[in-house]
A and B are shown apart, each in its own frame.
Chain A
Amino acid sequence: MRAPTLMTRPWLTLLPLLLCLPAGATQSSGAPASDATRQQFLSHRPGEPLLDAAAFPLARQVEEGCELPCASPAETIAYLKKVMDAATELSLSAAESTAATVHYAPQGVPRKKSSAEAGTTSLAGAKLRPDLSTRLDARAWDIATGLGLARFTAAEGSIVGEDNRSPLPKGAAALDVPVLRAARKESAITRSSPPALQAGATPIDPATIDSRLGKSFNADIAKYPTGAAVLRAVGQPPELVIKKMASHGTTAVHSGKGSHEQIAINADLVADIVRRLDPGAAKVSDLANPAELRRYLAAHPALLPKVADAMDASYVHEMTHAAQYRRNGTGWLNDWKSGWVDIFNRGKYPVEMEWDAFGTQNRFFHEKAKADPSVLRLNGPFPDDVMEYTDYIDNLTKYRRDKIALYQGEVDTLDKLRLHSREEKGYYQAALAREQKQWPRRSVEGFTLMARGYNSQNLPTMGLPSLRAAIDRAAQGKFLEDMRPDLTAAFKEALSGIEARLAKAEADQKPWTIGGLSITLIKSLSADLKAPLPPRVAKAVSKR
């Protein structure tokens, strides 16, 4: 599912007008600012004393700088808007408002908030030039982020784990910034971490759970060709966040672009999966609360790869959206352009992007089922992906129609949307046509895997209709001979299962009969695949 980004909101096109409005049109409700206050605001440099937060909260926030990471156009615009609000708060003139904008965002680059108050103090104490201080602060944050320590400033306690294994960048040691000292400390801790930590035996910091789960997802999907291809297309995966969502039915949502991009997964759903995987979790009263869930996962880190395994196909879907966005570039110019495209299309985006994401999700699941057909069981921790896959292999045309019927207002076909490039249209047209071409074989393989999935659950007769469909489709598609070995193997597996059930029924003296439809299917499959029947099955079939 694609969620709108701040940059794609139509109101942003009014921003130039907003910036041109004379400030002071609305007066602050607080005490009027003195000339000295206004001058302080207009000339304030990082590290200098700040305005009183109670009297001039907006101006104070502007002086502190743009909230980190402040790397996206959306954050820049939010900061610029805050400068204009502060100008109103201080009753600045229009000329002073413009001067304030230039002062706090020279050449459009906003002043960045210190990575931590301590960091700012340390740099200021070193008597660096204010502009250099600001740049160093930002650089420190970048380095900290690169080390996976961005959370350090917000989270209490230490962070220990795979997030912080990178060595410190060359030259970083020369910087006397607390966050970097912490980075060095954490890096040292990680390097000497005992094996137990890596095995997830020791409780870990809940603040690292989202990022650890993200890494588990990436490690999981990398095992399969489609997952690996999506990872390659995405490059640096977006941040993963466990979130409480408005609807229990929401699985995951990809949103944003560039540094603001994230994949959010529903805490309700993760909690459900955790309860299925770990009966002990049922004792936790509010597991769907993200903070509670993080605490539980931190105490039971071995669950992380299992949760990732249960939801990986949905994750691949959202990662495909991330790859789709990155195809168009991630710079502010592309964000600006896509904002206009959204406006012209009234917020609708191409349904082809969803069809592509669903196709990729199911190709991934197909590869996973090939490696282990037992994942096709409907009583697993997350049966939704199985249902999705069975609909996909059953009828691709209907599958796509169902999706557009549910996405309704937010999508349309590319031929009806404006400003999308010919290259983009060609890309999706080719991708969907390629999938259409590959689908008949995938469908046959899928039905064969379904049968094997039933065999693995000791429900061999349940898979017989799937095998029948697989043979009919392969014959009609003129590739039955290619598929015959796999189909025969799956049928023999089913026959062995049925034979074993009959043998057990004999031994237990509890009669077990094969249903009439199953008998018909066994006869036709045996004839088509030239597979002889084992003795008990042959006897049961001959009786009918």
Chain B
Amino acid sequence: MNRVLPASLLAAILAGCAMKTEKFVAYTYAPARFTAEVPSDWTVIPNPAGDTPGTQFLSPKPSGARAVRPYISVDFYTTDNARYASLAACLVEGTREQPGRSHGPIAAIQVGSLTGQEYTLIRPLPQTPQSAPKGRLSERTVLLSVEDGFYELCFTAPEESTAAHAEAFNRFLETFRRQ
């Protein structure tokens, strides 16, 4: 009992340290004409040349075993983009029946002054020749209409770590603005 108490106290202190408040910074990405707040220690990876204007915000490397890093992504599709005829077409594509994939209900959403629709897609975890993690990936997708096209905002994370990073995406949505 004498040993349990200090150990519990230490665990509580460590847990408190681990749950420290995340620091956010405003990030503006001119090619996709948006600004939003992201955790300051996340890595920004703009889409390569030739791709749709967009970017990926990658969370820090998790400690312990190799695992998929949760990430937020933004893609801006102009009205004349070569991929989707409209936001609705993107929605149909995203929720198309495919082996190993399923999606939740499609719901309306408002982000700032923008309106759109959202759904959560469940799909298999990505694999590499070195690693084949087991489990499923949850991808919360928010599609927002703008006058010259639409945005696709995604929060992608292994199912088990979705809750731990949900705050980051909620803050991202709260602060997302068209430039």
Interface positions of A (Cβ within 8 A of B): 1, 247-253, 314, 317-318, 352, 354-355, 378, 384, 387-388, 390-391, 394, 396-398, 400-409, 413, 429, 432-433, 436-437, 440, 465, 468-469, 472-473, 475-478, 517
Contact = CB atoms under 8 A, between A and B. Distances in A.
B56 A404 contact: yes
A465 B83 contact: no
A415 B153 CA distance: 24
A401 B56 contact: yes
A433 B50 contact: yes
B105 interface: no
Interface stretch (B13-21, B23-31, B94-102, B167-175): B94-102
Contacts of A429: 48-49
B174 to A, nearest CB: 23
Contact of A476 (B89, B96, B100, B137): B89
B27 to A, nearest CB: 16
Contacts of A394: 98
Given A390-B98, A402-B68, A252 B129 contact: yes
Q: Chain B: interface secondary structure?
A: loop
Nearest to A357: B129
Contacts of A396: 51
A429 B130 CA distance: 24
Contact of A406 (B50, B54, B68): B68
A63 B54 CA distance: 61
B45 A476 contact: no
A318 B52 CA distance: 29
Contacts of B81: 476
For the complex of A and B, the 5 pairs showing the least CB-CB separation, nearest first, are A249-B132, A402-B126, A1-B130, A436-B50, A433-B50
Contacts of A403: 126, 128
Nearest to B157: A405
B156 interface: yes
Most buried by B among A248, A403, A407, A433: A407
A401 B71 contact: yes
Q: Chain A: interface secondary structure?
A: helix
Interface in B105-162: 124-133, 137, 154, 156
29 contacts: A1-B129, A247-B130, A247-B131, A247-B132, A249-B127, A249-B130, A249-B131, A352-B48, A397-B75, A398-B154, A401-B71, A401-B73, A401-B156, A403-B128, A404-B58, A405-B58, A405-B70, A405-B156, A406-B68, A406-B131, A408-B66, A429-B49, A432-B50, A436-B49, A436-B51, A440-B83, A465-B97, A472-B93, A477-B83
Nearest to B139: A398
Given A247-B131, A406-B68, 17 more contacts: A1-B128, A247-B130, A248-B132, A249-B127, A314-B129, A387-B124, A400-B48, A401-B45, A402-B137, A406-B126, A413-B45, A432-B48, A440-B82, A440-B83, A469-B96, A472-B89, A476-B82
Contacts of B92: 472
Q: Which size class do B's interface residues fall under?
A: 35 or more
A404 B130 CA distance: 13
Nearest to A473: B83
A465 B98 contact: yes
B69 interface: yes
A432 B82 contact: no
B84 interface: yes
Nearest to B48: A432
B179 interface: no
Contacts of B99: 378, 390
Nearest to A472: B89
B58 to A, nearest CB: 6
B85 interface: yes
Contacts of B71: 401, 405
B40 interface: no
Contacts of A398: 73, 154
Contact of A249 (B54, B93, B96, B133): B133
Given A388-B127, A397-B75, A408 B156 contact: no
Nearest to A413: B45
A2 B68 CA distance: 18
B61 interface: yes
Given A378-B99, A437-B50, A406 B93 contact: no
B82 A391 contact: no
Contacts of B128: 1, 354, 403, 406-407
A62 B153 CA distance: 62
Contact of B127 (A318, A384, A473, A517): A384
B68 A476 contact: no
B82 A478 contact: yes
A403 B66 CA distance: 13
A352 B99 CA distance: 28
Nearest to A378: B99
Contact of A404 (B45, B50, B96): B45
Nearest to B75: A397
Given A394-B98, A433-B48, A477 B131 contact: no
B82 to A, nearest CB: 5
A252 B83 CA distance: 34
Contacts of A318: 129
A391 B126 contact: yes
B49 A433 contact: yes
B45 to A, nearest CB: 6
